[in-house]
Amino acid sequence: MIHLLDTMAGRPTRVMAAGIVTTLALLISGCQHQVEKAAPPAPTVGVYESKRMSLPIEVAPNGTTRSLENVTIRARVRGFLTERHFVEGAMVKKGQLLLVIDEEPYQVALQSAKARHAEALASLKKAEESKGREVSAATLELDRAQLLLAQIQEKRNRSLVTRHAAPVEDLDKTEADRKRWESQLDADRANLEQAKADYDVGLASARAQVSAAAAAVRDAELNLGYCRMHAPISGRIGEARMKVGNLVGPDSGGGGNFSELATIQQLDPMGVDIKLSSRELERTTTLMASGLKVQLVRMGPTGLVEHPQSGSGYFIDNSVDETTSTFLLKASIPNPGGKLLPGEYVKVRMVIDHLQDAVVVPVPSVVESDAGTVVHVVDNDGKVAVRKVVAGQSHEGLRVITKGLDAGAHVIVDGLQMIRPGLSVKTVPAELTRKETAGTTITTAEASTSPRS
């Protein structure tokens, strides 16, 4: 009896359990069927309508700032530095007194040179007023008269001897006198020539001594002037490399080394040395004739910062570097306030050409894939399509598409990670980091890769 009741009691329990299992199975199956039937919502992507623009093309090569004028102040005379008239790092003006070397030894040297010059002038005056030639000429004339008298006396005695009116001894004596005065006259002529030569030589020597003394005075004046050093240009002066009290000047051994005292660099305008690819030489040379404008971009506290003033190119070197196939371009950029310093690496932007009616899209929309460069567009059915394109240069958030895409295409910019070809999507205007306008400039990454119109 008990066994029968147990059997009857257990049967409804198993039946109930079986019913519960069947119900749960039906519920789970129904849920799975509902999940499989629910379609996922279409993703929302940001799109940009490709457009045509007329764009200037820029190159953006690297450059190095340098001072257009850079002067090192050196001590040209030897002595102790006694005065300094500038503050290190301050702006100085052309002609401003900067440093003074002890002047007293050079003042004494100048006075001594002036005294020697005065002595030479006195010697010159003495040589110019010499009467040696006049004395020799007078002696010659006197002896010529004596010769004439001796000749007359000889002639008279000869006549008397012929008439036996005078002894022969008188004739011999007068003949000897005549010969003596003839010899004396020859000597007087030689003395006169010598006096003339001595006068010319003495005068030339005196004049040379005056010139030498004047040069010594000028040299002493220069050396004294070198004691006071003035700024040859306007600019910012660096640190004082020699302090007051130091002995400065050329090497005592005559090695040709002069003490460096300070350096002045012109900061406004600032020069920039730029290396450009030789491919750009022809276009750059042409632009130089009409005025090549340059814009400097440098690293600031929060990233790249554009210098507020634009400059211009003024020099192209006369050769191309055979190692790098680049040429040197020099530019000058206004630098009020000295915010740029020499030796800084910068970017320099220059417009070298123009693209007319070019198709542009945002840079993030251009994807480099295994199949090449592509963009994803939304077709007329609202589905994603892939377009293979040829992309050119980019700047300020836009990139030029030279082939494979026309204006008016809805290019996907945001949400590229959520799409696949053929997927239906919802579109909203893409949020660009920078609004592009028709005046956008296209810049090449390197000067050697800029496109042609």
* CA dihedral of residues 343, 344, 346, 350 (deg, nearest 10): -40
Architecture of domain 69-102+227-265 in this structure = Beta Barrel (2.40)
Structure tokens at 13: 């329990």
Q: Where are the domains of the chain?
A: 46-54+355-449, 69-102+227-265, 106-226, 270-353
Interval 339-393: pLDDT, tens:
899 999 999 988 877 788 889 999 999 999 888 999 999 998 899 999 999 998 7
pLDDT, mean of residues 144-169: 86
Confidence of residue 77 (pLDDT cuts 50, 70, 90): very high
The pLDDT assigned to 347 comes to 92
Q: How far apart are CA 415 and CA 431, in angstroms?
A: 11
Confidence of residue 395 (pLDDT cuts 50, 70, 90): low
pLDDT, mean of residues 7-35: 48
Question: Does position 3 have pLDDT exceeding 50, yes or no?
Answer: no
C-alpha dist (Å) from residue 18 to 7, 24, 26, 144, 402: 17, 10, 12, 178, 72
Q: How far apart are CA 293 and CA 288, in angstroms?
A: 9
Architecture of domain 270-353 in this structure = Beta Barrel (2.40)
DSSP 434: S
The pLDDT assigned to 27 comes to 52
Q: Catalogue the E-assigned strands of 35-112.
A: 44-49, 51-59, 62-67, 70-74, 79-84, 91-92, 97-101
DSSP 279: G
User: Between residues 9 and 251, which one has the greater pLDDT?
Assistant: 251
Question: Does position 322 have pLDDT exceeding 90, yes or no?
Answer: yes
- Residues near 59 by beta carbon (within 8 Å), at least 6 away in sequence: 276, 280, 349, 350, 352, 443, 444, 446, 447, 450
Question: Does position 144 have pLDDT exceeding 80, yes or no?
Answer: yes
Confidence of residue 10 (pLDDT cuts 50, 70, 90): very low
CATH number for the region 46-54+355-449 comes to 2.40.420.20
For tokens 């009857």, name the residue: 8
Q: Looking at 101-110, 177-186, 364-373, 425-434, which range is the least confident one?
A: 425-434
For tokens 């050329």, name the residue: 250
Q: Are 280 and 353 in contact (CB under 8 A)?
A: no
The pLDDT assigned to 303 comes to 84
- Residues near 364 by beta carbon (within 8 Å), at least 6 away in sequence: 413, 414, 416
The pLDDT assigned to 37 comes to 54
How high is the mean pLDDT of the chain? 84
Order of strands across the sheet that contains 91-92: 70-74, 260-265, 235-237, 91-92
Confidence of residue 448 (pLDDT cuts 50, 70, 90): very low
